[in-house]
Amino acid sequence: MHIEQIEPIVLESAIGTVSMPGGKSEFEATVTPVVARVHTDEGIVGVGETYLDDPSGHKAMTAAKGMEALGHELEGQDPREVQARWHEMYVHVKREGSFRAMSAVDEALWDIKGKAAGLPVYELLGGKVGQTKAYATFPLSKPAEQLIEDAEWLAEKGFPTMKIVAGHGVENDREKISTVAANIPEELGLAIDSNTTYGVKDAMKVGRTASEYDLEWFEEPISHTNVQGQAQLNRDLEVPVSAYQNHLAHYPAVDLLEANALEIYQPALDFVGGITAAHRVATMIEPYDKQLVPHAFGPAINYSASLHVAAASPVCDLIEFGVYSDKVDDPGEYIASPYVANQKDIYVQDGGVIEPPEAPGLGLELDEDLIEEYRLN
């Protein structure tokens, strides 16, 4: 089998345009998907996906160009030799390419390998290990009182943890943490994400409050490049420090592990280098007793890839799940990708468990009519 063509498909964000009652203004982020459709000479077609917060679609076009460039490298090669293709892509990408493009193509190669073998990707990764639950990322910017109301709804569904946005100043964050943590259901954990906003001193102040209220983790307190700063926070604070969504490939995990900088590793499959890189991060952190909690905020193909990695990792029992709207009946319903015909196969069960689709490969089928409707390129 060989690769004939890599076809990039840039799609309009479905968040805030179709699925979301209330329109875009309610939401801080869009999810603009770029699908890599990899065609082979034997008729098997694989799909992988990256995405950007990019309503204009301009940045997404860069990822699409990157996929075309990778196509020139990979055409004629066997897509089932994923490890070999990953390293060829890495050599290209580290010098002049797009990690977003590479990540999507890697996912598509695993999809092809699974379809050719008649097995879901998690089986190719060694099979399921334990159970994965979804935690709710609740991206809507709301005052603490409203977050508390929504917390009841999320707890009732069975999400073990709710993550809210921090990084809005030490005093603001402290007040939000203490108000929300003290008033949500006992069984619901709370995590905060400050998206690399702080320096070490302010992160320490916010982190002390997070520790006092027994938060589940403090995500990206400071710049992802500051390994020693993260190590200091991780050593001096009780709250576990998490990061990795801004890291590329599995190599930076070496320094982070040596410095004991993080308790929780959160590779973003759409950016880190796909299934191959995220799976390697999971393997590297296992002997250090660290946890994998994939960053998985985004569209369905990439989400499915993240679920397959989570299901097959002995150090992963939790994955991110974006609850994009407070107007849906069921917060466990997946709504970000109407162009995937069976996106309903991704859902959070009552009780919080989530599983990868069972069909071969990543287990998803595109709706070609909707692909054309959403397509920007």
In the complex, least distance from residue 121 CB atom to Mg ion, rounded to whole angstroms: 24
Residue, CB closest to Mg ion: 193
Task: Report which of 278, 1, 4 is spatially closest to residue 113, judged by C-alpha positions.
Answer: 1
Per-residue binder mask for Mg ion (CB under 5 A), 197-236, x = binder? ----------------------x-----------------
C-alpha dihedral sign at 77, 82, 83, 88: positive
Contacting range for Mg ion; rule: CB under 5 A; set: 9-17, 115-123, 149-157, 187-195: 187-195
Distance of CA 201 to the CA centre of its chain: 28
* Other Cβ atoms closer than 10 A to 66: 28
Closest to Mg ion by CB, 40 vs 242, is 242
Closest to Mg ion by CB, 49 vs 193, is 193
Report whether 347 contacts 323 (CB < 8 A).
Answer: no
H/E element, 6: strand 3-10
Contacting range for Mg ion; rule: CB under 5 A; set: 189-197, 285-293, 333-341, 342-350: 189-197
Closest to Mg ion by CB, 4 vs 53, is 53
Q: Does 263 participate in binding Mg ion (rule CB under 5 A)?
A: no
Residues making up the chain, counted from first to last = 377
Structure tokens at 257: 């592990």
Q: Does 320 participate in binding Mg ion (rule CB under 5 A)?
A: no
Structure tokens at 291: 């946890």
H/E element, 52: strand 45-52
Per-residue binder mask for Mg ion (CB under 5 A), 337-356, x = binder? --------------------
Q: What letter represents residue 57's amino acid?
A: G
Find the binder of Mg ion among 193, 263, 320, 345 (CB under 5 A).
193
Closest to Mg ion by CB, 107 vs 193, is 193
Positions that interact with Mg ion (CB under 5 A) = 193, 219
